[in-house]
């Protein structure tokens, strides 16, 4: 049942009292492109009224410093692993999904009767850094199994031969990314280039502001008071953590004082699992006409777009570059950013007109607050929004796609009884003996069998550098999965409704039987549309339930072993991740 925001349980922390922190900037050019970043334990205050928290962070900070680089100017980072235990997060599975009053335990602070996971408590600080969105040679891409132990430095070269964009760097350790990132191991990385400067977009403070959005939970002491102790809590019915407190740049529900001017916000969803649908309210009325989106994951769109009518949807790891015009607002005006997306997210719409009533504990959204803007001070120059933005990419040409290698991947959730469910990416190959997956589009039926199901199964994807491929992502689960490819960006080609049947016992450890038809399920309420802001260069794409998404990807930059995975960290860790190897064409004749 929806509890209106005005009548929702009062939040245990006051919203909009802390100023939005701006992460410290580390400008690569000022250091001749050679940076040293220590990875270490630190302390951090997430809210005025919370005690300090122990964290693991880059430079001991949450978030880590924002690294700013120039296109074509390589950056070398010496990552110094100086982590030391104890691990700063209590990880637990609550024994029941709801408390005695029927409130989902994930909406509540504390352990809710869960035992702290002793294996998490025993973590000593292995890490590996991945630059998300970076066109990075494989040796420096942060392969999930190539760990840096405490005391072991790693020197990674980032060529920065890529267009301007908001990237982010974060831990990527096999099996525990969800814990290490939650502990604080994430920071932003901005690449800048001449095209953006030609357009005279705001660069740096005060008019360019990064917003790293995450959700966090904390423990309670014996008197029921919040401590700063970070808690990663799941429950027997929901294997992802959806903590109740939204944190922007490290503060719970902060407030940013803005001048009557146009601001550029570089927005990243850095949450483990939560998808946000962000709406901006002035009093109670949505004012989305103030917002213009100019960029996505890999930088500028070709032309500015309005945000979708119901709000800006960002799943884990998706980015948006938006201009917000406050210039006509008198001092004292307040605009509030709310989230209207239930969790786990399944693409279901929520009308923007009802955004003030978005609080929904059953949808694991007890507090929709994200951030507030308060207008103060003198007007500043307003920014004119160019009508033409990027000029360096086009939609993939039809001729290239006609002959393109096609790959199919089914997203599958396997019930595991007492254990949390397994999520896997079943790579599909030509049908042989055994269970079949059929995909029917009109009269045409393609027959497949599973050729790989788990991260450690043999590699089956060997894309050739320079050639377009079409990857078909087939969602056979009830949730939206943000699928991320390392290395080069891709473009979405289509998002189509499907219906499917999986026979009793059809999901095995490696096998899969399913009948998929490209047609809408009668009770399917999703529109399966491509948002305008998804028609750019993406590295993470949402695949909703009852949906096939096709993407066109062309790996151009480096040969080597990379990963693709769901960016819900609890899914990536269990086991929604697979390798691929990009190949130089001249080596192909020598491949067995
Ligand atoms: Cu997933």
Ligand 1 centre from 274 Cα, in Å? 11
Ligand 1 centroid to Cα of residue 439, in Å, is 21
Ligand 1 midpoint to CA 219 (Å)? 27
Radius of gyration of the CA atoms of the chain, in A: 23
Give distance in angstroms: CA of 574 to centre of ligand 1. 9
pLDDT in tens, 380-425: 877 889 999 999 999 999 999 999 999 999 999 998 888 888 899 9
pLDDT at 345 over 60: yes
Q: How far is the CA of 423 from the centre of ligand 1 (A)?
A: 7
Kindly list the distances between the CA atom of residue 109 and the CA atoms of 13, 103, 112, 199, 386, in Å, as whole numbers in the listed order: 11, 12, 8, 46, 46
Per-chain mean pLDDT for the chain: 95
Cα–Cα distance, 7 to 468 (Å, whole number):
53
More confident residue, 255 or 9: 255
Q: How far is the CA of 240 from the centre of ligand 1 (A)?
A: 10
3-state secondary structure of 300: strand
- CA–centroid distance, 577 to ligand 1, in Å, is 9
Length of the chain, in residues: 592
How far is CA 527 from each of CA 350, 531, 551, rounded to the nearest angstrom?
13, 10, 18
What number of other Cβ atoms are within 10 A of residue 440's Cβ? 15
Distance CA 257, CA 238 (A): 37
| Cβ atoms of 434 and 514 closer than 8 Å | no
pLDDT at residue 421, rounded to an integer? 87
Each residue of 356-379: pLDDT tens digit?
A: 999 999 999 999 999 999 999 999
Pick from 127, 126, 129: which is nearest to 156 by CA? 129
> How many angstroms is it from 568 CA to the middle of ligand 1?
5
- Residue 592 CA to residue 588 CA, distance in Å, equals 9
Separation of CA 475 and ligand 1 centre (Å): 10
Cα 283 to averaged position of ligand 1 atoms, centre (Å): 35
Spacing, Cα 112 to ligand 1 middle (Å) = 25
User: Residue 4: its pLDDT value, please?
Assistant: 43
Query: What is the distance between the alpha carbons of residues 267 and 324, in angstroms, rounded to a whole number?
Result: 12
Q: Quick one: pLDDT at residue 383?
A: 83
Under a CB-based contact definition with an 8 Å cutoff, are residues 434 and 447 in contact?
no
Q: Which of 290, 291, 491 lies closest to 390, judged by CA?
A: 491
| Strand, coil or helix: 179 | helix
Helix (H, G, I), strand (E, B) or coil at 198: helix
Rounded distance from Cα 314 to ligand 1 centre (Å): 14
Encode burial over 265-274: b for 16+ CB neighbours within 10 A, e otherwise.
Answer: bbbbbbbbbb
Nearest residue to 578 (alpha-carbon basis) of 563, 557, 568, 559: 563
Compute the distance from residue 273 Cα to the ligand 1 centre, in Å. 8
> Can you list the positions of beta strands (E) in 415-462?
422-430, 437-441, 444-452
Two tokens, residue 159: 């060529």
Whole-number Å distance between alpha carbons of 309 and 318:
18
Task: Give distance in angstroms: CA of 590 to centre of ligand 1.
Answer: 36
Cα–Cα–Cα angle for 515, 521, 525, nearest 5°?
140
Rounded CA gap, 269 and 564, in Å? 18
For residue 63, whether the previous peptide bond is cis, meaning omega lies within 30 degrees of 0, is yes
Give dist(CA 382, CA 368) in Å, integer. Answer: 30
Do the Cβ atoms of 252 and 45 come closer than 8 Å? no
Q: 1 pLDDT exceeds 60?
A: no
Burial 536-575 (b: 16+ CB within 10 A, else e): bbbbbbbbbbbbbbbbbbbbebbbbebbbbbbbbbbbbbb
Distance 542 CA to ligand 1 centre (A): 9
pLDDT, tens digit, for every residue of 239-266? 999 999 999 999 999 999 999 999 999 9
Give 533-569 as a DSSP string.
GGSS-BSEEEE-SSEEEEEEEE--S--EEEEEEESSH
Tell me which of 12-16, 63-67, 507-511 is least confident: 507-511
Q: What is the pLDDT of residue 353?
A: 95
Task: Give pairs for 569-572: CB < 8 Å, separation 24+.
Answer: 569/177, 569/178, 569/181, 569/182, 569/272, 569/273, 569/316, 570/178, 570/234, 570/239, 570/240, 570/241, 570/272, 570/273, 571/240, 571/273, 571/423, 571/481, 572/177, 572/178
Which uninterrupted H or E stretch holds 516? Answer: strand 514-517
pLDDT in tens, 480-507: 999 999 999 999 999 999 999 999 999 9
CA contacts within 13 A on the Cβ side of 480 = 25
Structure tokens at 488: 């080069």
- Alpha carbon of 498 to ligand 1 centroid (Å): 18
Whether the link from the prior residue into 86 is cis, omega within 30° of 0, is yes
Six-digit token string for 43: 């302390």
Q: Calculate how far, in angstroms, residue 480's C-alpha sits from the geometric centre of ligand 1.
A: 7
Span from the CA of 336 to the centroid of ligand 1 (angstroms): 29
Q: How far is the CA of 429 from the centre of ligand 1 (A)?
A: 21
Higher pLDDT, 330 or 590: 330
Neighbours of ion ligand 1 (CB under 5 A): 481, 566, 568, 571
pLDDT above 70 for 230: yes
Residue 415 CA, ligand 1 centroid: distance in Å: 14
Own/partner pairs, 283-287, CB within 8 angstroms, 24+ separation: 284/356, 286/352, 286/353, 286/355, 287/335
Confidence class of residue 6 from pLDDT cuts 50, 70 and 90?
very low
Give the Cα separation of 270 and 213 in Å (integer).
Answer: 6
Of all residues in the chain, the percent with pLDDT exceeding 70 is 98
Cα 425 to ligand 1 centre (Å)? 9
């Amino acid at each position: 049942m929806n509890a209106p925001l005005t009548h929702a349980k009062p939040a245990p922390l006051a919203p909009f009292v802390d100023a939005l922190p701006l992460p410290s900037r580390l400008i690569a050019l000022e250091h001749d492109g050679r940076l040293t970043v220590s990875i270490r334990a630190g302390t951090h205050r997430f809210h005025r009224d919370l005690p300090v928290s122990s964290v693991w962070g880059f430079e001991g900070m949450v978030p880590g410093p924002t690294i700013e680089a120039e296109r074509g100017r390589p950056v070398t980072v010496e990552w110094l692993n100086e982590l030391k235990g104890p691990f700063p997060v209590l990880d637990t599975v609550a024994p029941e999904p709801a408390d005695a009053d029927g409130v989902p335990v994930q909406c509540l602070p504390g352990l809710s009767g869960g035992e702290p996971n002793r294996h998490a408590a025993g973590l000593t600080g292995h890490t590996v850094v991945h630059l998300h969105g970076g066109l990075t040679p494989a040796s420096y891409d942060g392969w999930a199994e190539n760990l840096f132990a405490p005391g072991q430095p790693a020197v990674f070269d980032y060529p920065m031969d890529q267009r301007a964009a908001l990237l982010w760097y974060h831990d990527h350790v096999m099996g525990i990314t969800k814990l290490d990132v939650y502990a604080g191991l994430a920071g932003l990385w901005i690449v800048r280039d001449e095209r953006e400067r030609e357009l005279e977009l705001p660069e740096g403070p005060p008019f360019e502001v990064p917003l790293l959005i995450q959700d966090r939970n904390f423990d309670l002491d014996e008197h029921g008071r919040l401590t700063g102790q970070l808690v990663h809590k799941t429950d027997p019915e929901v294997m992802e953590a959806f903590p109740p407190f939204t944190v922007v740049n490290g503060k719970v529900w902060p407030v940013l004082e803005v001048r009557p001017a146009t601001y550029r916000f570089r927005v990243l969803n850095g949450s483990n699992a939560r998808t946000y649908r962000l709406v901006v309210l002035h009093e109670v009325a949505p004012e989305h006409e103030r917002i213009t989106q100019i960029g996505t994951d890999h930088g500028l769109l070709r032309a500015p777009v309005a945000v979708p009518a119901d709000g800006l949807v960002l799943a884990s790891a998706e980015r948006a570059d938006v201009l917000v015009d406050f210039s006509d607002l008198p001092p004292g005006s307040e605009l509030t950013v709310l989230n209207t997306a239930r969790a786990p997210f399944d693409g279901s719409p929520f009308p923007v007109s009802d955004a003030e009533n978005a609080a929904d504990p059953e949808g694991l959204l007890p507090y929709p607050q994200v951030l507030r803007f308060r207008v103060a001070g003198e007007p500043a120059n307003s920014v004119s929004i160019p009508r033409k933005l990027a000029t360096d990419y086009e939609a993939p040409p039809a001729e290239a796609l006609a002959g393109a290698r096609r790959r199919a991947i089914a997203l599958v959730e396997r019930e595991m009884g007492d254990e949390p469910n397994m999520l896997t990416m079943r790579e599909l190959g030509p049908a042989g003996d055994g269970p079949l997956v059929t995909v029917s589009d009109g009269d045409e039926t393609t027959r497949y069998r599973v050729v790989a199901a788990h991260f450690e199964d043999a590699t089956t994807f060997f894309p050739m550098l320079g050639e377009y491929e079409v990857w078909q992502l087939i969602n056979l689960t009830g949730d939206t999965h943000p699928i991320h490819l390392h290395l080069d960006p891709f473009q979405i080609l289509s998002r189509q409704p499907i219906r499917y049947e999986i026979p009793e016992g059809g999901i095995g450890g490696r096998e899969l039987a399913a009948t998929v038809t490209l047609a809408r399920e009668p009770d399917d309420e999703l529109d399966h549309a491509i948002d305008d802001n998804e028609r750019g260069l993406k590295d993470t794409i949402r695949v909703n339930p009852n949906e096939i998404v096709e993407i066109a990807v062309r790996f151009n930059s480096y040969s080597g072993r990379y990963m693709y995975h769901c960016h819900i960290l609890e899914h990536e860790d269990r086991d929604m991740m697979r390798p691929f190897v990009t190949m130089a064409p001249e080596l192909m004749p020598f491949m067995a």
